């Protein structure tokens, strides 16, 4: 099991798969032991309830659900944020990983 788990949530769970790969590659280059995966909004609740998530990042297309996920994750101390549109659009795995790492430290 990885040291930390980063979950990306998008509308269908598929559009973030390339971003996940780029984040994983960046984590490996930094010798970070991270499990990074993407799910749809319909699958996210189960993963949160399973207690395996250390940080949750929302795709820009589901940014309107941020407060809903903040409420779900508050008691589990899981930070939630929205991936910047520019980073998402350019598939900048390094920047998105950096944000996730910062959220896990705070």
Residues designated catalytic:
10
From the list 54, 52, 44, the residue with the least C-alpha distance to 12 is: 44
36 exposed, middle or buried (CB, 10 Å; 0-12, 13-18, 19+)? buried
Q: Which distant-in-sequence residues (6+ apart) come within 8 Å of 59 by Cβ? A: 8, 9, 10, 11, 15, 16, 82, 83, 88
Show the beta-strand stretches assigned E in the chain. 4-10, 34-40, 55-58, 80-82
């Amino acid at each position: 099991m990885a040291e930390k788990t980063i979950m990306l949530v998008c509308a269908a769970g598929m559009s973030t798969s390339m971003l996940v790969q780029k984040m994983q590659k960046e984590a490996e280059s930094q010798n970070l032991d991270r499990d990074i995966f993407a799910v749809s909004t319909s699958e996210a609740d189960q993963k949160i309830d399973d207690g395996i998530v250390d940080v949750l990042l929302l795709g820009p297309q589901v940014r309107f659900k941020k407060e809903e996920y903040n409420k779900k994750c508050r008691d589990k101390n899981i930070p939630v944020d929205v991936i910047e549109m520019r980073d998402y659009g350019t598939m900048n795995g390094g920047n998105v990983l950096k944000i996730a790492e910062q959220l896990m430290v705070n």
